[in-house]
Amino acid sequence: MRFPNIMQTPLKLARTVAAITLTSDHAVIAHMAASILLDYPSVERRARFDLVRASVAVLPDPLQEAFGAFLDAADAQTGQQLEAHFTATFDLKRKCCPYLSYYAAGDTRRRGMALVRFVEAYRAAGWEVAADELPDYLPMVLEFSALSDSPIARELLAAHRDGIEVLRSALETVHSPYAHLVEAVSLSLPAIDENTRKRYLDLVNEGPPTELVGVSFLGNLKPFSASASSESSSAPPTKDVFA
């Protein structure tokens, strides 16, 4: 079964988001804020929204505007309304999937291998993944980027930049306020190159794969060595993502 395309005219969704040069401190704030706000808006999460609003006030104007637009929209809804919108958007719309490897691997047997690479990446940086969430969950990767000094965190985001752009476009198409948050993430990352842009537009048109027997493309994430991951995992975990 083929899902209907979200859009009929790709160029309308090919909007470019200009990258912003951020200090390391600003990048940490931006990614932690996006991690909190992109997660399920439980009562506990919403209790932190005011703190996030205060924290992002030091960021460059485009990022302040993106975060502010989401927070204003969230404030205009009840907790139940925002929870319902989150579920209807991220759980029921295929191109609004918050799991990064889904855009490259889709509902195929390659997805498992892609998830293993995420786990290896965390372990290579000295982190263990909490068992209650998949390792490619965008809020988790953003938290990892905010809290880790390892360049691996940014590699995870860069390797799945095309998926992030598809998610942003899909959220804009359905007029979700969560589009502002993914735009903030895009603003915080380096500008996309032409190859990434082409993959992004292809994914916007075709959607994630449903089965690709014999195809090995797993995104641009390089495999991490088994020895590096085993050395990290043999020691007691030093950190726990989303514990």
Measured from the Cβ of residue 14, the count of other Cβ atoms closer than 10 Å reads 14
Residues 6+ apart with CB under 8 A from 58: 26, 29
Q: Tell me the C-alpha distance between 92 and 73, whole Å.
A: 21
Angle between helices 161-173 and 194-206 (to 10 degrees): 50
Give 58's DSSP letter: G
95 domain residue, yes or no: yes
Residue 64 structural domain: 18-241
Sorting pLDDT into bands at 50, 70 and 90, what band is 13? very low
Q: Tell me the mean pLDDT in the region 161-186.
A: 93
pLDDT per residue over 81-136, tens digit each? 999 999 999 988 888 999 998 887 666 667 788 888 888 889 988 898 877 889 99
Task: List, in sequence order, every residue forming a beta bridge with 127; answer none if it has no partner.
Answer: 239
27 domain residue, yes or no: yes
Q: What is the pLDDT of residue 82?
A: 97
pLDDT reading at 26 higher than 70:
yes
45 domain residue, yes or no: yes
Q: Tell me the mean pLDDT in the region 56-75.
A: 97
pLDDT reading at 168 higher than 90:
yes
More confident position, 19 or 64: 64
Assign residue 47 a region (left: φ > 0; alpha: ψ between -120 and 50; beta: otherwise): alpha
pLDDT > 70: what percent of the chain? 70
pLDDT per residue over 200-212, tens digit each? 455 444 544 444 3
* Cβ 51 vs Cβ 172: under 8 Å: no
* Cβ 66 vs Cβ 33: under 8 Å: no
Cα distances from 142 to residues 8, 10, 153, 217, in angstroms, run 31, 28, 8, 23
Sorting pLDDT into bands at 50, 70 and 90, what band is 155? confident
Calculated CA dihedral for residues 98, 103, 109, 114, nearest 10 degrees = -70
Q: Tell me the mean pLDDT in the region 26-43.
A: 97
* Cβ 39 vs Cβ 130: under 8 Å: no
12 domain residue, yes or no: no
* Cβ 203 vs Cβ 162: under 8 Å: yes
Q: What is the pLDDT of residue 193?
A: 60
pLDDT per residue over 116-127, tens digit each? 888 888 998 889
4 domain residue, yes or no: no
pLDDT reading at 75 higher than 70:
yes
Give the CATH number for residue 57. Answer: 1.10.3480
83 domain residue, yes or no: yes
Query: Average per-residue pLDDT in the chain?
Result: 78
Q: What is the pLDDT of residue 95?
A: 82
Measured from the Cβ of residue 131, the count of other Cβ atoms closer than 10 Å reads 8
pLDDT reading at 156 higher than 50:
yes
Query: What's the structural domain count of the chain?
Result: 1
9 domain residue, yes or no: no
More confident position, 233 or 63: 63
Q: What is the pLDDT of residue 140?
A: 94
